[in-house]
Amino acid sequence: MKNDSKIKDVTQKDIDSWGKQGWVKFKNFVEELEGKKSKTEEKKETWTRVKADGAELRAENEDWFVYKILNKDACILFGAGTKWCITESGRY
């Protein structure tokens, strides 16, 4: 599997275990994974959506970007890991 971060069970990553279970089970397993997204892929999609809807790039250079934040979701996304009141859960 190219992206094995979708596979949580270590035994499912062992190709030898699939040889014992047969082709049909392995094929079904792979088909199930094709529709799933990893957490990284989900975060990237969220980031892209929120950034497109809630932030406008105003300036940039090779070291930084300046965005105009347009909504709460974008503020929470860009402020993640900070102590801004709006980024802390349950505050607003």
- Please say if the pLDDT value at position 44 is more than 80: no
- Please say if the pLDDT value at position 92 is more than 70: no
- What pTM did the predictor assign? 0.44
Contact yes or no for 25/31 (Cβ under 8 A): no
- Please say if the pLDDT value at position 2 is more than 50: no
For residues 13 and 40, give the distance between their C-alpha atoms in angstroms, rounded to a whole number: 19
